Amino acid sequence: MAEQIQKKPVKIVETVLRDAHQSLIATRMTTEEMLPIVDKMDKIGYHAVECWGGATFDACLRFLKEDPWVRLRKLREGFKNTKLQMLFRGQNILGYRHYADDVVEYFVQKSIANGMDIIRIFDALNDMRNLQCAVDATNKEKKASGRGHAQIAVCYTLGDAYTTEYYVDIAKRIENMGADSICIKDMAGLLTPYAATELVGAIKSAVKIPIDLHTHYTSGVASMTYLKAVEAGCDIIDTAMSPFALGTSQPATEVMVETFRGTPYDTGYDQQKLAEIADYFRPIRDKYLANGRLNPKVLGVDIKTLLYQVPGGMLSNLVSQLKEQKAEDKYYEVLAEVPRVRKDFGEPPLVTPSSQIVGTQSVLNVIMGERYKLVTKEAKDILAGKYGQTVKPFNKEVQKKCIGDTEPITCRPADLLEPELDKIEKEMAQWKQQDEDVLSYALFPQVAVEFFKYRQSQQEGVDVTAGKDGAYPV
């Protein structure tokens, strides 16, 4: 009988070059640390390597003084056989506001032109209206260039509105929107193994496109969840090489590969080769442990995440925000405030940018000693409907306290935006050395200009920033 079971190797997306280091070391892995191992990674047979998007773009420009486009091109050059994958926040692209459609389209076009294959597109509020533009742009590039795959991710979260029917309905809509695959994106490790059986089974029977499950190890159940999900028909799972796995990151690649060995789901990956890759990343992990960037606090199992529903990246952000405020003792108080703020804001999934908005507001509410005494601009915007529609209504009282009599919007937020690409390009013309610079500037104007100044000083050997914002090495 066993021979008759149809082989269905589970596909693996390796996250060590994006989500793993975003979740564990605040996205600080440098291109230089990545490149020497690319050739070995390229020979594993991964379905894809996630290596761009999410917070990598911002971190490159802001902290690492690297051009994210150069990183993408170098990775493309190195990964000759493996598909590259990125994370794309719908109408926010990789930034923190809504962009006009022309910027979204141009970003998709340039990402694919520079070597990106799979674009995982999601919206923090699961407002599908915020995804269509990026999906259409990806499909257009696919048609024109043969490269490009639009994956739509639905953020997985818990709450009254988030029933199996809710996810099945969204999955059908995702298929109808023209996505090539669907991702269940569980930022906080909330999906438990038997819930995965039900959820994946239900979605599998409702749609034909492949299902990818993305989760985090935070609450400790993630590898069991993958096992049950794969048994229920999940096609693709996201894992990280062991030195950057577990904790707030993903289950370990080697462990999942071994789990499915000899079963119909066998990946066929070579453990010896995986071990060599792990050997490469281990000293890098040790370096970040030694310099404090990798906080042991995010490495364990935090079962409270099931209660607070806080995603991995957000946990490490909260720790560093509180550290800066010298209020580390308020950690658990802030964690308890998070679900309350979330309810006030229409119970959105917690993922960038809603995770930052809810997280920062929770920190403010605790540190100020009064809820919503100080309200961030982003929190006001979310309550004014500027990020889109939430599944549940806002807390009216909180809404009133934060935005007063401002009339909230109900349309797709980008419908109110005029094309802005030309204006942006004019604004930054003096810095432009390549088309992609326009997009770096569009997403992070101040940070990009700082980077452009740095780049120029490197090229000219003179420090144009001297005496202004401090000197860069030249």
Q: Which stretch binds Co ion (CB under 5 A): 18-26, 31-39, 44-52, 448-456?
A: 18-26
Nearer to Co ion, 19 or 117 (CB): 19
Q: Which stretch binds Co ion (CB under 5 A): 15-23, 158-166, 175-183, 430-438?
A: 15-23
Q: In the window 371-410, what residues touch Co ion (CB under 5 A)?
A: none
How far is Cα 41 from Cα 33, in angstroms, rounded to an integer?
Answer: 13
Nearer to Co ion, 218 or 321 (CB): 218
* Least separation in angstroms between CB 19 and Co ion: 4
* Least separation in angstroms between CB 216 and Co ion: 6
Nearer to Co ion, 315 or 403 (CB): 315
Q: How many residues bind Co ion (CB under 5 A)?
A: 1
Q: Which stretch binds Co ion (CB under 5 A): 16-24, 114-122, 128-136, 436-444?
A: 16-24
Cα distances (angstroms) measured from residue 221 to each of 21, 189, 193, 333: 20, 7, 7, 25
Cα distances (angstroms) measured from residue 348 to each of 200, 273, 289, 341: 21, 41, 33, 10
| Contacts by 330-336, CB closer than 8 A, 24 or more apart | 330/363, 330/366, 330/367, 333/366, 334/359, 334/362, 334/363, 334/366, 335/304, 335/308, 335/310, 336/308
Q: In the window 416-445, what residues touch Co ion (CB under 5 A)?
A: none
Q: What is the residue-wise DSSP string for 264-330?
A: TT-----HHHHHHHHHHHHHHHHHHHHTTSS-GGGTS--TTHHHH---HHHHHHHHHHHHHTT-GGG
Q: Which stretch binds Co ion (CB under 5 A): 12-20, 92-100, 131-139, 274-282?
A: 12-20
Q: How far is CA 43 from its chain centroid?
A: 25
Nearer to Co ion, 19 or 180 (CB): 19
463 binds Co ion (CB under 5 A): no
Q: Which stretch binds Co ion (CB under 5 A): 11-19, 45-53, 157-165, 437-445?
A: 11-19
Residue 84: strand pairing partners: 49
* Least separation in angstroms between CB 156 and Co ion: 11
Q: Which stretch binds Co ion (CB under 5 A): 14-22, 121-129, 204-212, 380-388?
A: 14-22
* Least separation in angstroms between CB 187 and Co ion: 5
* Least separation in angstroms between CB 185 and Co ion: 7
Query: What three-state secondary structure class fits 213?
Result: strand
Nearer to Co ion, 222 or 402 (CB): 222
Residue in the shown chain whose Cβ atom is closest to Co ion:
19
Nearer to Co ion, 19 or 235 (CB): 19
Q: What angle do CA 443, 448, 454 make, to 5 degrees?
A: 165
19 binds Co ion (CB under 5 A): yes
Nearer to Co ion, 86 or 414 (CB): 86
Q: What are phi and psi of 115, to 5 degrees?
A: 120, 0
Q: At what angle do helices 331-344 and 312-324 cross, to 10 degrees?
A: 120
How far is Cα 63 from Cα 266, in angstroms, rounded to an integer?
Answer: 40
Nearer to Co ion, 313 or 385 (CB): 313
How far is Cα 398 from Cα 471, in angstroms, rounded to an integer?
Answer: 44
365 contacts: CB under 8 Å, gap ≥ 6: 337, 341, 371, 372, 373
* Least separation in angstroms between CB 24 and Co ion: 11
* Least separation in angstroms between CB 84 and Co ion: 17
Nearer to Co ion, 19 or 67 (CB): 19
Q: What is the binding site for Co ion (CB under 5 A)? A: 19
